[in-house]
Amino acid sequence: MNKTVNVRDLGLKDYKDTWDYQEQVFKSIVDTKIKNRREDANLDTSNYFFFVEHPHVYTLGKSGDMSNLLLNEDQLTQKGATFYKVNRGGDITYHGPGQIVGYPILDLDNFFTDIHKYLRLLEEMIILTLAEYGLKTERSSGETGVWLDVGTPFARKICAMGVRASRWVTMHGFALNVNADLGYFDNMIPCGIRGKAVTSLNVELGIDKVDEAEVKSKLLKHFKVLFEAELSKS
């Protein structure tokens, strides 16, 4: 069992280019697992954790409803945004500058074979990170992701999640609003859930800009402990 996770920060990168890159890495891990099974090989499978920031883009998961995007093609162009239907779980979400997106591509056979546990640990990583900034965040029953003031009229989402898994290999991941332009969320029904607001870390802290490198460092610290992983930066 290889618990080493290769961490890469891809910087600002087009959504489709990043998706294609994820698919390549995902396929290489799955192919190794197939070879191990067919040829009784004993090859280690690799694990990755990509950080990335995307230009403005809306993505719709497999079970998503197109009506949750409130813009037509011309309006998307006017806002400098793109749109993709993708092969992750969940409904619609937005990615853009000021948002930390994380894509763990893990062979869960190296850790634990439980998708529910995987999602809960990703949420816990976010919750523990935001606690370091003095925020009390939590899960909302039946709604994947991380929220503030659950069960009140002021409930608001700060981190969205949507993953895909095949042969216990994961892809896609989470999107944490750190210095996000929340105006872009007005152009959709976030995750298909009406009447729920969205927030960002800088808004909650009442400051102009949060140090995103510091947030990433905290996320990795908690990820390492929760997944009992070794991190290798490249």
Choose, from 106, 191, 220, 229, the residue flagged as catalytic: 191
The reply, when asked if residue 173 is annotated as ligand binding, is yes
165 is in an annotated binding site: no
Query: d(Cα 39, Cα 57) in Å, to the nearest integer?
Result: 42
93 is an annotated ligand-binding site residue:
yes
> Does the annotation flag 91 for ligand binding?
yes
Asked whether residue 175 is marked as a ligand-binding residue, the answer is yes
Mapping DSSP onto H, E and C, the string for the chain reads CCCEEEEEEEEECCHHHHHHHHHHHHHHHHHHHHHHHHHCCCCCCCEEEEEEECCCEEEECCCCCHHHECCCHHHHHHCCCEEEECCCCCCEEEECCCEEEEEEECEHHHCCCCHHHHHHHHHHHHHHHHHCCCCCCEEECCEEEEEECCCCCCCEEEEEEEEEEECCEEEEEEEEECCCCHHHHHHECHHHCCCCEECCHHHHHCCCCCCHHHHHHHHHHHHHHHCCCEEEEC
Q: Is 94 annotated as a binding residue?
A: yes
Active site residue 159: no
162 belongs to an annotated ligand binding site: yes
Is 95 flagged in the annotation as binding?
A: yes
Residue of 43, 36, 57, 84 lying closest to 175 (CA atoms): 57
Q: Which residues are catalytic?
A: 191
**Binding-site annotation, residues:** 88-95, 160-162, 173-175
Residue ranges for the known binding site for substrate are: 88-95, 160-162, 173-175
